[in-house]
Amino acid sequence: MGAAREALTARLVVGMLSADEDLMDAVTEALGPHLGTPDYVSPLIPFAYTAYYDRELGAGIRRRFISYPDPFPPDRLAETKCLTNTIEQKYAVDGRRRINLDPGYITLGKLVLATTKDQAHRVYLGQGIYAEVTLAYRRGGFEPWPWTYPDYRSPEYLEILNHLRGRLAAARLT
């Protein structure tokens, strides 16, 4: 029998989807008291992978990733998703979200995203939140699974997420 031990800390990353760059900035500020100050903010990336969010978020949706330097305990993922859900609702207009927040964490071996939707490949964490291993680190970079969303398969996202994994690896060396 193996001995139970604490998980290594991870790097928190939040993916934002919105058609409003100013709103992304405001939400980054709103997350600050809860998550700290991000040490990485990605460039805006056009989101043209699906029309799923168009009706709710509007035309011209873009993705931005923000990431935080403080070690993130993986067992806080459900709590963090609940926080981001609350913030999404705070900025909603007439019950319609204007921003979608996807928190997750990076370890040296994977990217895990939080979601409220159950599927066969997701594990329930509590509080109505599930975890999905979205990418696996193999052969020198993140690689998708059959269920990985199309945008998370893109070279732009993979470059950013591999960069953030590199920051985590460098921090572990110090």
- The reported pTM is 0.95
Q: How far is CA 108 from CA 21, 27, 135, 142, in A?
A: 30, 28, 11, 10
- pLDDT tens, per residue, the chain with 174 residues: 889 998 888 999 999 999 999 999 999 999 999 999 999 999 999 999 888 899 999 999 999 999 999 899 999 999 999 999 999 999 999 989 999 999 999 999 999 999 999 999 999 999 999 999 999 999 999 999 999 999 999 999 999 999 999 999 998 776
Look at residue 3 and tell me if it is in a domain.
no
69 lies in some domain: yes
Query: Is residue 131 assigned to a domain?
Result: yes
Looking at residue 8, its pLDDT comes to 83
**From CA 58, how far away is CA 50, in angstroms rounded?**
13
Q: Which domain holds residue 101?
A: 10-173
Cα gap 114→100, rounded to integer Å: 12
**CA distances for 151 relative to 75, 123, 148, angstroms:** 26, 22, 8
Residue 37 lies in a domain: yes
> Is 5 a member of any domain?
no
- Give the pLDDT confidence score for residue 70 in this predicted structure: 83
The domain tally of the chain equals: 1
**Does 23 reside within a domain?**
yes
User: Is there a domain that residue 4 lies in?
Assistant: no
DSSP letters spanning 124-151? EEETTEEEEEEEEEETTEEEE-TTS-TG
User: What is the model's pLDDT at position 174?
Assistant: 65
**Distance, CA of 168 to CA of 145 (rounded, Å):** 22
Whether residue 1 lies inside any domain: the answer is no
Strand partners, 169: none
